[in-house]
Amino acid sequence: MSFLDQIPLSILVVACLTLGLAPFVPEPHIWEKLKMLVAGELVKPVDMFDLALHAAPFVVLGLKLLRLATAPQA
């Protein structure tokens, strides 16, 4: 987990706001893919890869925040 400690929090926030949400118009791409997933329409491999790509920054940010919250205070 030391790789999470080396990634600055600001970089992860920027990655979530750019890669995670792009393209922004007409709606964030990850939102479109999540709606497809819930509706059962996420069947093409390219759509699954697209969801994974756009969700990755959010997953890493979540892991980083969890690590910060559970790390022993020094």
Ordered by start, the domain boundaries in the chain are 2-64
Residue type (1 letter), 61? L
61 compared with 71, residue with greater pLDDT: 61
Mean pLDDT across the chain: 90
d(C-alpha 38, C-alpha 14), whole Å: 27
Model-level pTM greater than 0.75? yes
DSSP category for residue 65:
H
Contacts of 1-9 with C-beta under 8 Å, sequence gap 24+, read 1/67, 4/60, 4/63, 4/64, 4/67, 5/67, 7/60, 7/64, 9/61, 9/64, 9/68
| Tokens 């080396």 belong to residue | 6
pLDDT band at 73 (very low <50, low <70, confident <90, very high): confident
pLDDT at 74 exceeding the cut of 70: no
